[in-house]
Each structure stands twice: as C-alpha cells, then as structure tokens.
Amino acid sequence: MGPFHRSVDMLISALALALQTTISVGPTQGVDVQKENEQERSRRIPVTEEMRRTAFKDEAARTLLLKAREARMTQDSMLMSYDAKAYQRISVGMGLRALARERLAFRVENAARVRWHRDAGARIQVLGARAAVPIAGQDVLPARDTDMIPIPYYPGKEQLWAGGGMTELEVDDTELVHPIAVGSEAYYTFATGDSIIMTLPNGTRITLRELRITARQPKWNVTVGSFWFETTTAHLVRAVYRFSTPMDIWAEATREDSADMEDVPGWVRGLITPMTADITSISVEYGLYNQRFWLPKLHGMEGFARVSFMRIPIKWEERFVYESVNAIDSLPAIEFADRTTRSEYRDSLFAAGVDSSKAREMAREYSQAQDSIVRARRTETCRTQSSYTVMERRGNGSLPTAVEFPCDSTLLMRSAELPPSIYDGGEELFGVEERDQLLESLTFSLQPGWSPQPPVVEYGLAFTRFNRIEGFSTGGAISHTLGSGYTTEVGLRASLADQQLNGDASLMRSNGRRTLRATAYRRLA
C-alpha cells in the first residue's frame, strides 16, 4: 500500500474514530475480488489520435513527456548503496467547522537510519518514535508499524511518492492516474513552462525544465501540478501537485458497489453527510548526490477530510539526510523464516471454498497466533540482547528489509534525533521553507479543464441547528463542480419557529489552498 492510499485510509479512519461509526460492507469471495479488479483495470480510457493531438500545447512538452516516461522506467544501475537518516511526522487535527480554529488531535513522528545495498536490501535502525494525543494529555509510544518507516529509494519505487509504492508502466484509473504513465494523454494536457540553469561545483551546468500538467476533467484521482525534470536524463527533480477535486466518499462507495450502499439507512447517511476527502498539495524534491544520482530529500502532503460539521486536516512530512552514497561495500544478508502471511492464509481458505466470513475469522485467529509467537521470540531475544529485528519484504516483495528496534522502548521517545517537543513546529527538521516555495507553484492558473460533473446532494446533521429565533431548522445543499476550478452551490433551509424559508447561491473558485467565493443569500443575520 502506497503513501497516498495510507493517507486516504488515515483520513477515513479519523472519521470513524471521531464518530465511532462503522459501516460494514457485504462479504466478497477472494476470486471475485480478483475478477472485479481485472474489470476495473479494463476501464482505462483508450488514447485516440484526437487525444494525442490535443494533449500537448507545444512540441517541447511532447518531447519532454516521452523522455520522462522512458526515464521513469529506467533504473540507474550505478547506484549501489546509500546510508541515510529518514525523518517522518504525521499530524491530524480537528475543527468543528471550516472557519473554526483547528486543534491538534493526534501526531506521530519517527526517525531511523536506513542503509540500503542493491544486492542485499535495506537495514533500518529505528532511532526515535513517539506519538501525542493532546485530548489524552500525554505522549505515548506509537505502534511499532514497520511499514510507516520511510525508505528513500529502492529499485522500482514510484518517483512521485503518492499513488502506490511501485512504478507501474501504464495508467490505472482505479487509483491515482499517474500523469507520466503510458496512456496519460487521455486524462491530461501538457505544456512546458519555465527553465532553471544550475551550476555544479565542478562547473557542470544542469538545466531543469518545467512541465505543467492539468487534468482534462475534475476527478478526484487526477491531478494538476508543476513538474520539473533535468533535461539531459529527464529525471524528476521536483514536483508539486494536487488532486483536481475532492473525493466524495459516498459517491465512490456507491460507484464501487451500489447494492451494498443501498443497505445503508438514510438516517446514517444524514448523520455523516457530507463525507469528503481532499488532498490539497503533494510536494516532492530530489537532491543531486555525487554529482550524478538524484535521490529524494523531501516529501510533503496536506489534505483534510470533512464529515458532517467536522473538518479533519492532515499533514504528512518526510525528509531524508544522506551520510554517504555508494560508500557501502556490502550489507549482511537478510534471512527470512518460513511463514505464511495472513493474506496468503486467507486466500488459501478462499481457494478451498471456505465461506468468506468464516475465512476472515480464521485468518484473524491465525494472525493472532503468529503474532503471539513473534512476541514470545522477541521477549526471549531481549533477555540477552539490547535490540530485536523484524524481517519483512517491501516493494511487492522485491525488497528484503530488516528493521531493528531497541528492547527499551523509552529510548525511542527520548531520542535526540527528534525535536525537543513533539509539539514543536519542526521547521528546520522538515524543511518548511523549501516546501512553501514549492507550493507557490499551485496558483489559480493550474486548473482542470472545463467539464461539468454530476451534482452532489448534501443534507443531514451538518445542516441542522436550533436557536431561539428559528427554533428547529434544517436544510441541504446541491453543489456542482464545473471545472477550471469553479463550483456552484445552492442551499435551502426551513425553520419551524419563524416559519421562514431561507437560502443562498454561491459561485466559488479554488486552487486547493485558497477559495474565492461570491454569494447571494437570504438568511438569519
């Protein structure tokens, strides 16, 4: 699972945590899921000659895209190893309405030393980890989730960070539609922008060229952004982009399985409508090391979820500092014990025809038993050693990884690698100034094309209130995404005490981080 999918999952999990509401979907058989996935992948829009003709605003954009597409699938075999420190911070907030003050609800951060060698894999030493839950009034040790520790680079890793862990050759419109992948001309238009010339210490001059990429239609899984490539190798050097419109979670759930969503009671939808998730900015920056190798040094993501009257912002930051590149001769081999994973065990049950609900329960019990064995081995190891190691595979199984944790977990919370306080801004550690410079590229001129989308109806608790003038009042709104950043919204409200019908009509334009609004209204002042 890539960072983007984990981000969306975290947003949705935050909603469930806030509401303590769980919506269960019907059971599915494993083989049916595979067929459904194949059907979804076949929905790719085929690229026509007309799309190829209209995709490029200038010939230089076509040339740069084709070079970048080729470079994206080419790994530099001369990069053999690196020794780096990786820092990560994830912050989740909460506000009762869009313009209210937002407060920190949860924050987790970690630091690790990552040593990677092409022939051996990655060895990670966790240096620090802690979490804060201000509503509980204390700092805690986060769950030791090895997947959350970032690895800067390994062969096949996606350059754009979001949209999945591994590079895919072709577009898959069931997830993030990659703007550089084969087939992206059906979803995007391309134009060259500015250029920058960099002079290295040895006098070599490097030219960076901007490729401005915009979605043809405002869809939640297509992006608009500014992408900079080194013109000789066409390697991505920096990028800042956002999703072209928020994701309506109800609409996506209905699209995935309309039959299951029909079973959700209307009053439940009213309690948690609207329910949307929006990734407003993603930034990626690479640094040049040994005057040859482009390696990631900065990742940033900002977004928010909206559920009923609550707004839940999220910020994800990663930064990498390299101690050396191509200086490690070798790393010890990573040995794996034979163990069937929970998903493999569940799939075998599905293949044997076991009922899906029973199979999931058996897989859960199997996983718990395996975890008990691992904890017992960990306890035995810590009787004689100061640390223990967790073995895993990343990158769809292609990257052997060994993650070392100290037995004394309090050492992680007191680590000097982390800021003095988890509540510190972290400007120096996470490069806030560099990130803000990248975000300046997300102007109002970067917008998806004009393509009106189906209207969205919102109603329920978010539009319901009681006061001494109106008494009980409720209403709803219909919003209509038009494209080019424009959205219209019409709202109606009826109240019992004063027996009035109020309403408003708005025209908005947004670049993800800023919204301009014009509204005509009749309402209680």
Read off the pLDDT of residues 84-109 as tens digits, 9 standing for 90 and up.
Answer: 999 999 999 988 766 667 788 889 99
Low pLDDT (below 50) residues in the chain: 1-8, 10-42
Tens of pLDDT, residues 270-285: 787 888 889 999 999 9
With H, G, I as helix, E, B as strand and everything else as coil, classify residue 332. Answer: coil
Which tokens go with 401? 């990884």
Q: CA–CA separation, 71 vs 90, rounded Å?
A: 31
Tell me if 334 sits within 8 A of 298, measured CB to CB: no
Instruction: Sort strands 275-289 and 293-307 into parallel, antiparallel or unpaired.
Output: antiparallel
Q: CA–CA separation, 280 vs 20, rounded Å?
A: 26
Q: CA–CA separation, 123 vs 113, rounded Å?
A: 8
Tell me if 87 sits within 8 A of 111, measured CB to CB: yes
Which residues 6+ apart lie within 8 Å of 468 measured at CB?
Answer: 497
Say what the pTM is.
0.84
Instruction: Sort strands 486-495 and 121-133 into parallel, antiparallel or unpaired.
Output: unpaired
DSSP letter assigned to residue 175: S
According to the model, what pLDDT value does residue 3 have?
Answer: 42
Is the alpha carbon torsion for 195, 198, 204, 206 positive or negative? Answer: negative
User: What is 295-316 written as a DSSP string?
Assistant: EEEEEEEEEEEEETTEEEEEEE
Tell me if 482 sits within 8 A of 217, measured CB to CB: no
Instruction: Sort strands 456-459 and 486-495 into parallel, antiparallel or unpaired.
Output: unpaired
Q: CA–CA separation, 180 vs 185, rounded Å?
A: 9
